[in-house]
Amino acid sequence: MVKIAPSILSADFAALGQDVARVEAGGADQLHVDVMDGRFVPNITVGPVVVGALRKRTRLPLDVHLMIVEPERYVADFVAAGADLVTVHAEACPHLQRTLAQIRELGARAGVALNPATPPDALQYVLDDLDLVLVMSVNPGFGGQAFLPSAHRKIREVRALLGDRPVDVSVDGGVKPDLASSLAEDGATTLVAGSAIFGAADPAAAVRALRDAARTR
């Protein structure tokens, strides 16, 4: 079954605990936390302090998406704060294999994110060092952007590259219920969604709607 990861980027940051409780009640599988530094992407969000605060408020695994330069400098802080999964961008890591090994050594699961223009080939020599591939279906930085259809082909190519390795393939950006079943068919195992969930009047129902949509073929 496809996993649903609500992105708190579109939640109410002044009422984060409440919004998280809503999606947890709706059956979300993990919580996606977008960390932006104003350098790798043109926006600034949250750091380890907020991850630590979330850790105290939810049992959901925390899926931390680092859109920052030199992520290796902060990986330990995020794991110490309670991140279960740490995803770094291939474009931000000159020593990608080392950074992935660092994440695993700290006891977290390691993910690699690919910007829309980055080919799956970037993963070729780290296939055994990762637990998740995050296919970006928008250029990262903001919630509420339109899904780029090139992600469909990217997901299929990543899936083929992974062979039978038990690696999650997650898709992030512009994911709405009408795309869910085709993304699952492409080989996505996790759907990240921000505005489709927290922009809805009932975020718990939006989690269920996304999951149901992924099931129907």
Q: Give the active site residues.
A: 34, 172
Our finding on whether 193 is near ligand DX5 (CB under 6 A) is: yes
Alpha helices in the chain, H assignment, sequence order: 16-25, 48-57, 75-81, 96-105, 150-162, 177-186, 195-198, 203-215
- CA distance linking residue 198 with residue 13, whole number of Å: 11
In 10 A of CB 166, how many CB atoms? 7
Our finding on whether 38 is near ligand DX5 (CB under 6 A) is: no
Our finding on whether 172 is near Zn ion (CB under 5 A) is: yes
- Footprint of ligand DX5 on residues 3-22 (CB under 6 A)? 7, 9-10
Work out which of 19, 29, 34, 63 binds Zn ion, going by CB under 5 A.
34
The contact pattern for ligand DX5, residues 54-93, with x = CB under 6 A and - = no contact, is: -----------x----------------------------
Structure tokens at 84: 């279960």
39 backbone dihedrals φ, ψ, rounded to 5°: -125, -55
* Cα distances (angstroms) measured from residue 112 to each of 138, 155, 161: 15, 13, 14
Our finding on whether 111 is near ligand DX5 (CB under 6 A) is: no
Work out which of 195, 204, 207, 213 binds ligand DX5, going by CB under 6 A.
195
- Kindly tell me which of 10 and 30 has the beta carbon lying closer to ligand DX5: 10
CB of 33 to ligand DX5, least distance (A): 9
CB of 53 to Zn ion, least distance (A): 19
**Residues 36, 133, 61: CA angle, nearest 5 degrees:** 70
- Footprint of ligand DX5 on residues 149-188 (CB under 6 A)? 172-175
Q: Where does this chain touch ligand DX5 (CB under 6 A) — which range of 95-103, 136-144, 149-157, 161-169?
A: 136-144
Asked if residue 158 lies in contact with residue 187, where contact means CB atoms within 8 angstroms, the answer is: yes
34 backbone dihedrals φ, ψ, rounded to 5°: -90, 115
Structure tokens at 185: 């068919």
* Binding residues for ligand DX5 (CB under 6 A): 7, 9-10, 32, 34, 65, 138, 140-145, 172-175, 192-196
